[in-house]
Every structure is written in C-alpha cells, then in structure tokens.
Amino acid sequence: MTEVEKMLAGELYDYSDPEALELNLQAHERLEKLNTARYRDTQGYRAALRELIPGFPDSSYLITPFHCDFGFRTTVGEGVVINFNCTFLDGGGITIGNHTLIGPNCQLYTPHHPTDYLERRKPIETGKAIRIGDDCWLGGGVIVCPGVTIGNRCIIAAGSVVTRDIPDDSLAAGNPAVVKRKLNAMTNTEKLHTCAEALRRHHFETAVVANTQEAFEKMKSVVEAESPKLVSFGDSMTMRETGIIEWLRNDERFTLLDGFDASMPRPERLEIRRQALMSDLFITGVNALTTAGTLHWLDMVGNRIAPVAFGPRKVILVAGRNKIVDSRDEAEERIRRIAAPQNIARHPGFRTPCAKTGVCMDCNAPDRICNTRMEMLRCHPAGRILVILIDQDLGL
Ligand code: SF4
C-alpha cells in the first residue's frame, strides 16, 4: 500500500511521502487560484472551485478566503454555503450534507497524531473522517474534531468545539459541545405511534390506547384469553391506575400473587415476589421507552425486571406517553433525574440523598433504590411481551 492509499483508507500514513506532498502542493496552487478568483467572473470562480473540490455543485457556495489540505477529500452537497475563512484539514475526508450552512471561521480537522510524544516527532498521522448531515447550521468559529459525525438538522452554536458525535435534530453548544435541546420534536402522540411501530419491529406485541380505562379493557381481554392460573405483578403506579390489580384480586378464576401486601412482613413479601418468577402472567410498568423501540428499567430489588426477562409465559407492560424518549442516553437521564428521585418519595424511611434533596447523587447508601439496570432490545419469543402505550401522562 502506498502512503496515499493508507491515507485514503484512514490508516496511519507518512505525510512527508513525495506523492502525498505533491497532492498537498497541488491543493495550494488551486487554493491560490480560487482565493484570487473574482466572483463577477462566475465561470472562472466555479472552474477554480471544481478544480479544488471536484463535483462542487452549482447550487452551493464557498466564500473565499478558504484553506484546506487537499480539496479532493471534501465532498459538498446541494445548497450548501461555506462562509469566509474556513479551514478544512481534509486528509481523512470531509462530507457536508445538502442545505448545510457553515459559518465564517469554522475549522474542520480530520488529522489525528500519535499520543506518544516520540512517535509524534515522526511525520505521521491518521485521517479520521468528519461527516456533517443535511440541513445543519454551524455558527461562526465552530471547531469540529477528527472522527466526529454531526447528524441531520443540527445546529451547533458559534464558538463550540465538537469532540463527540451529535445525534440528528440536536442543538449543541459549548466546549466540548453537548446537546442542549432537541429540535423538530415530535408531538407526544407522534412519539407514541413511532415507539409502538418500532417495538412491533422488535417483535413486541403493542397496543396504543387513549386512557387507563381502555388499557384496563385491553389487559382484561388478554388475561381472559391467556387464562393463567397464577398471576403476579411488579409495582407500577401506571398499572395500578388502570384498576387491573383490583379486578384480578376479585376474580376467582385467577390466583394473584401479591408481593406488595403491606400487612405482611417484608421477608414474606419478598418470597412472594420470588415466586412471581414462576407465575403464568406478569404485569408491570417500565421506566422509559425509546422511539427506537427499546425498553429501560432501573430496579432496587430486581423483582420487576427479572420476570420481564424470563419466567412468566406472558408479560404485560403499561406506560404513559411521558415515558417515551428519543435515545438510550435520554432514557437513562430520565430514570436518574425523574423516576428514581421521585420514586424514593413513595418509600418513607429510606435513607438516601435523593430522599432529602429530590436530586440523584449516585449514592452508595444501603437503601439505594437504583441497583440493577435492564435494557430490553428485542422480545423473545416474539409476542411474549405486550406493551400497552397510553396517550396520557402517567406514573413517574
Ligand atoms: S441518590 Fe441514590 S437512591 Fe437516590 S436516585 Fe440517586 S442512586 Fe438512586
């Protein structure tokens, strides 16, 4: 492999190699031509632009002065504007999507040098590609580091330094840039249906209902169809609001294992929760769901999540629309900031920092309620788990 081939493959290469140097010198000559081209001479300006960046579309604009290492390593989509004085170190490849605006003085750096200082004395580097999606806006002075991907429809605030990938539809700012808020958010109802569709693709059975009464009717029909002998449940405010537990308790066709009966001593309650692993049908809630079709819990004892993962032949989960988020990170954030600290308020006597402040301190207290995390990616076997999504804000 030649040094240039290594560069194109994203491998460590010698940038003092004559062939690589020649490409760099060629770029400098083309830059000189472009940076002195007159905009009035449209043909001359466009020719210089395309000589430097092959395939640069007529619908896109680059306002000089401009600086880059190679030019041919940059790909620009339709309707793009690159403002004054941008610097693209593009050995690793830079891709800019359609209708993206790059503010003045933006700097996109793909080269990555060895971290060992002795190695770094050698003329070697690795090019890590930068990808910027469609319809993005990078404010003035944004710096993008090697290997970063910025998703579609993102806004990066002026002066930010982007060191990590930014997901679609994000407004990111700061050094290092972090997502401050989501853009182009779906309505709650759109999220509900997107989540249901994604769960269906992941082999969950799903139902979208308008309220807790409809959720109750759906659960009742499934329970009757399954005709389980032993039914159990994991605690969930949403599930309790549907009234399903009282209905099961009063129906003699079913035996309800209630591991939350406050009249019993705690060891007995825990024993019942253990037996719930062998129940025929198990009902509970979920801490967070993503629009990508994954389910997320954080449990103290684990009695809610263990029977969901394995044991009962049928599992029913209920969740309000407020539990639906866009990503795994947001799911974890929701659990840490909202679900866990609010849940502790339902357990008087638990001594944790959040019980006093309402804020999670990632404690190590013996009463810590955040001990086991579960993320469910697919349902196996298909249809074993029914997820009922309720178009109301419910539970924690
Ligand atoms: S402070 Fe402790 S118990 Fe409270 S939410 Fe954080 S980790 Fe959980």
Beta carbons within 8 Å of 262's beta carbon, 6+ residues apart: none
What pLDDT, on a 0 to 100 scale, did the predictor assign at position 334?
A: 86
- Identify whether 113 is a catalytic site residue: yes
pLDDT of 256 above 80: yes
- Mark whether 280 and 156 lie in a shared domain: no
Q: Is the peptide bond before 176 cis (omega within 30 degrees of 0)?
A: yes
- Mark whether 207 and 291 lie in a shared domain: yes
What pLDDT, on a 0 to 100 scale, did the predictor assign at position 354?
A: 87
What are 20-45's pLDDT values in tens digits?
999 999 999 999 999 999 989 999 99
Please name the residue that has the structure tokens 């990503």. Answer: 327
Which tokens belong to 72?
A: 């041919």
Locate the ligand 1 atom nearest the alpha carbon of residue 353 and give its number.
Answer: 1
pLDDT of 13 above 90: yes
Spot the catalytic one: 112, 113, 193, 203. Answer: 113
- Mark whether 154 and 281 lie in a shared domain: no
Instruction: List the CATH number of the domain containing 258.
Output: 3.40.50.10420
Q: Are 336 and 317 in contact (CB under 8 A)?
A: no
Q: Which residue minimizes the CA distance to atom 6 of ligand 1? A: 360
Phi then psi dihedrals of residue 17, to 5 deg: -55, 135
Number of domains observed in the structure of the chain: 2
360 lines ligand 1 (CB under 6 A): yes
Instruction: List the CATH number of the domain containing 137.
Output: 2.160.10.10
Examine residue 340 and state whether it is found in any structural domain, yes or no. Answer: yes
3-state secondary structure at position 173: strand
Last residue of a domain, one of 182, 216, 232: 182
Containing domain of residue 85, as a range? 3-182
pLDDT of 339 above 90: no
- Mark whether 119 and 253 lie in a shared domain: no
Last residue of a domain, one of 182, 210, 226: 182
- Mark whether 39 and 19 lie in a shared domain: yes
Categorize the per-residue pLDDT at 56 as very low, low, confident or very high, splitting at 50, 70 and 90: very high
Is the model more confident about 182 or about 371? 371
pLDDT of 250 above 90: yes
What pLDDT, on a 0 to 100 scale, did the predictor assign at position 335?
A: 87
Q: Which of 297, 343, 360, 367 to mutate to test the pocket of ligand 1 (most atoms within 8 A of CB)?
A: 360
Lowest-confidence segment of 143-147, 295-299, 339-343 by average pLDDT: 339-343
Phi then psi dihedrals of residue 207, to 5 deg: -145, 135
- Mark whether 156 and 199 lie in a shared domain: no
The torsion of the CA quartet 17, 23, 28, 30, rounded to 10 degrees, works out to 170
Q: What is the mean pLDDT of the chain?
A: 95
Q: Are 303 and 276 in contact (CB under 8 A)?
A: yes
Kindly state the percentage of the chain with pLDDT values over 90.
87
- Mark whether 176 and 213 lie in a shared domain: no
CA of 291 to the centre of ligand 1 (A): 26
| Number of neighbours of residue 51 by Cβ within 10 angstroms | 17
